[in-house]
Amino acid sequence: MTDCIFCKIVSGQIPSSKVYEDDQVLAFLDITQVTPGHTLVIPKTHVADVFDMDSDTAGLVFARIPKIARQLKEKLGAKGLNIINNNGEAAGQTVFHSHIHLLPRLDKEDGLAIQFETHEPDFTQLAQLAQELYLEA
């Protein structure tokens, strides 16, 4: 795709700070560095998001994440790691080339806050929703 910033990074038209690369996957430091070592992992072929991704591409990308995560943990002394993936505008995606954020956590006071609002469970409603969403393997 000609207008995609990540495709331009893959092709070498735009420089990046690479931390991993093979024939199918590229990982590079995010320029925003939410936490030190904030890394983006992308497929080299253009795919907008997880909804457009086939299982082969997903397998290629996700198979590399543990290796890259271990390197971030070892070299940075990270005590944890958040993995975030935004898909679609409503989810906050701003670059429409699928990418996985790896956010090393050096300590609890690193300035990154990910919060979930909890709700009292309605088990009947949960069972109905699960039935609607159930997908055969």
pLDDT in tens, 7-62: 999 999 999 999 999 999 999 999 999 999 999 999 999 999 999 999 999 999 99
- pTM recorded for the entire structure: 0.93
| Angle subtended at Cα 66 by Cα 105 and Cα 26, rounded to the nearest 5 degrees | 95
Could you list the beta-strand ranges (E) of 45-137: 80-84, 100-105
Query: Out of 46, 97, 99, 119, which one is annotated catalytic?
Result: 99
62-101 pLDDT tens trace:
999 999 999 999 999 999 999 999 999 999 999 999 999 9
Predicted pLDDT at 109:
85
Rounded alpha-carbon distances, angstroms, from residue 56 to 40, 59, 90, 95, 108: 19, 5, 26, 21, 35
Q: What is the pLDDT of residue 17?
A: 98
Predicted local confidence at residue 132, as pLDDT: 96
Of 50, 38, 122, residue with least CA distance to 83: 38
In whole angstroms, give the CA distance from residue 129 to residue 127: 5
Distance CA(132)–CA(60), nearest Å, equals 30
- φ/ψ region of 92 (left if φ > 0, alpha if ψ in -120 to 50, else beta) reads left
pLDDT at 55: 96
Does residue 2 surpass a pLDDT of 80? Answer: no
List, in order of start, the domains of the chain with CATH numbers: 5-112 (3.30.428.10)
Confidence at residue 111, expressed as pLDDT on a 0 to 100 scale? 87
Determine contact, residues 36/18, Cβ cutoff 8 Å: no
pLDDT at 115: 87
**pLDDT surpasses 70 at 1:** no
Task: Please say if 38 is a catalytic residue.
Answer: no
Residue in 37, 40, 34, 49 with CA at minimum distance from that of residue 14: 40
